[in-house]
Amino acid sequence: MSARFFIPGDAGAVAVGADEVATAFEAAATAKGLTLDIVRNGSRGLYWLEPMVEVETAAGRVAYGPVSADDVPALLEAMLAGEPHALLLGPTEEIPWLKRQTRLTFARCGIVDPRSLEDYRAHGGYKGLEKALALGAEATIEAVVQSGLRGRGGAGFPTGIKWRTVAATQAEQKYIVCNADEGDSGTFADRMIIEGDPFVMIEGMTISGMAVGATRGYLYIRSEYPHAVARMEEAIRTARTAGYLGRGVAGSAFDFDMEVRVGAGAYVCGEETALLESLEGRRGVVRAKPPLPAHKGLFGKPTVINNVISLATVPIILAEGATAYRDFGMGRSRGTMPIQIAGNVKHGGLYEVAFGVTLGELVDEIGGGTASGRPVRAVQVGGPLGAYFPRALFDTPFDYEAFAGKDGLIGHGGIVVFDDTVDMAKQARFAMEFCALESCGKCTPCRIGSTRGVETVDRIVRGEDREKNLVVLEDLCHTMKFGSLCALGGFTPYPVMSALHHFPEDFGATTPVLEAAR
């Protein structure tokens, strides 16, 4: 039999048994005297169905899941005989959860063999670079500006404007730095794309390098992602051998090379200037801005520092045109966002969709409610620094400005769902505790404020001078929000104040007594 089988090698699938399933398929095939062509693809992002096994048929790929190793012998039997099986999900592309998405950045993820450069090219890979080389540096930057792409790491700064600044700064050496220090709980888009489509990172960084005149790139991946590190390093070696990195990239006159650097467990290194410090070999202490990294970044040289998803989206913008991308979305949030639905949710995974979908649709319809079957009480959007939203705010559209308008943020697009057993005072305390644990220590509001915050939440919950301590907490959050050097101290008040504002009963209040910190 020559059919190809796809069993994800994605860490999320491996964590729920994909390696054992692959081994079981091989064993079952051997027992039948068959050899299977197994591709370890990325994940399609339907994590509640992982490990999801696909088989190539004359009518396209057909999916089964979630498959356990014990299911395999009978499953293979059914696949070979063309008989139905309880785990059959049907043609993969027809699964509604996947079909309703707009996959631009993640177009290839879960489909291609992430180890194969040929497969990457066969699925539209390197069309963006080809176009960029034909357009030239200036027009390439213009295309990124026109697309409306904003930094997907959370800050939402226009990517093209950043590039323009670096391009306009004269220097002998410039750098492209990709921020893959995806530390926010509830987010895994960076991990998924690096594991499932690593060549798109190389193409995106190469285009960026060509556009701004940088010849070296660093991709800083957190150490908690060993699978992503291994996959990315392998892809870089493959691309280099094939002439897509190094001198005269893809036969052009332009040189670009890059390497992976591994973080060391510091959450704050996801902040761009702390990341640069870390790359330079120092403590990940945040730098004061200005100077901007675009002027004085890595080793003091002009540096583009972009998030994984921003850079992974650049190739398709170039390949399909800025307008095609900009046509998706709402307001000033253009294009699509790979939204990650996680935590206590029935259908968790990665859902790429145009901006504008409401939080309620994401949680109730797409996510299908909680995994526990209990009512949804709160969702945290945007990682540990994002606000907790109650059901009352579920009509908020997924859009940078709309979330800011409700004292929240979309951050890197992660949504963590909690059921009605959650203790919001405990969540608020954790936000302060995490900030204290991860603070780089440079500025006082973050370093000291977070520790005082933990103590103050404890006092409030114990009912000690309650009214007075509520005022202290609000004042503390105000100081942290406006006095911290970076988003760690500056945004920790979001989860704290939103928990207090929307769920005062968990803090021992009988009536809501507080306004959110503004």
Binding site for another protein (CB under 8 A): 11-12, 14-16, 47-48, 50, 182-188, 190-191, 216, 223-227, 261-267, 278-285, 299, 340-345, 348-350, 371, 380, 384, 414, 416-419, 422, 427, 430, 434, 438
Q: How many CB atoms lie within 10 A of CB 95?
A: 17
Minimum Å gap between C-beta 339 and another protein is: 11
Residue 269 to residue 271: CA distance in whole angstroms = 5
Alpha carbons 454 and 37: distance in angstroms, whole number: 54
Give dist(CA 384, CA 96) in Å, integer: 30
Q: Supply the DSSP string of 57-102, one letter for each residue.
A: ETTEEEEE-S--GGGHHHHHHHHHHT---TTEEEEGGG-HHHHTS-
CB of 154 to another protein, least distance (A): 15
Q: How far is the CB of 311 from another protein (least distance, A)?
A: 18
User: Is the CB of 19 or the CB of 130 nearer to another protein?
Assistant: 19
Closest CB to another protein among residues 102, 173: 173
The pairing of strands 4-6 and 37-39 is parallel
Residue among 200 and 298 whose Cβ is closer to another protein: 298
Q: Which two tokens stand for residue 307?
A: 């998030």
Give residue for tokens 């697309």. Answer: 147
Give the whole-angstrom CA distance, residue 252 versus residue 359: 45
Q: How far is the CB of 18 from another protein (least distance, A)?
A: 10
- For 378-417, give the DSSP string: EEEESGGGSPEEEGGGTT-BS-HHHHHHTT---TTSEEEE
Q: Is 4 or 227 the residue whose CB approaches another protein more closely?
A: 227
CA torsion angle 238 239 240 243 (round to 10): 130
| Min dist. Cβ of residue 192 to another protein (A) | 8
Residue 127: name the closest of 377, 317, 375 by CA.
317
Least distance from C-beta 425 to another protein, angstroms? Answer: 13
Nearest distance from C-beta of residue 55 to another protein, angstroms: 23
User: Closest CB to another protein among 125 and 369?
Assistant: 369
- For residue 139, give the DSSP letter: H
Nearer to another protein, 129 or 177 (CB): 177
Cα–Cα distance, 150 to 128 (Å, whole number): 18
Using the minimum distance from each CB to another protein, give the nearer residue, 32 or 426: 426
For residue 416, the minimal CB distance to another protein (Å) is: 5
The amino acid at residue 357 is V
CB of 230 to another protein, least distance (A): 11
| Tokens linked to 351 | 């859902």
Residue number with CB closer to another protein (72 or 431): 431
Report which residue type is found at 5: F
At a CB cut-off of 8 Å and minimum separation 6, what does 483 contact?
Answer: 443, 444, 445, 489
CB 222 within 8 A of CB 181: yes
Which segments of 186-331 does DSSP mark as H helices, in order?
189-196, 198-212, 226-241, 272-279, 308-320, 322-326
Nearest residue (CB) to another protein, 202 versus 416: 416
Least separation, in Å, of the C-beta of 16 and another protein? Answer: 5
d(CA 518, CA 512): 16
Which string of b and e fits 340-359 if b means at least 16 CB within 10 Å? bbbbbbbbbbbbbbbbbbbb
Nearer to another protein, 44 or 481 (CB): 44
Nearer to another protein, 120 or 430 (CB): 430
Closest distance of CB 485 from another protein, Å: 16
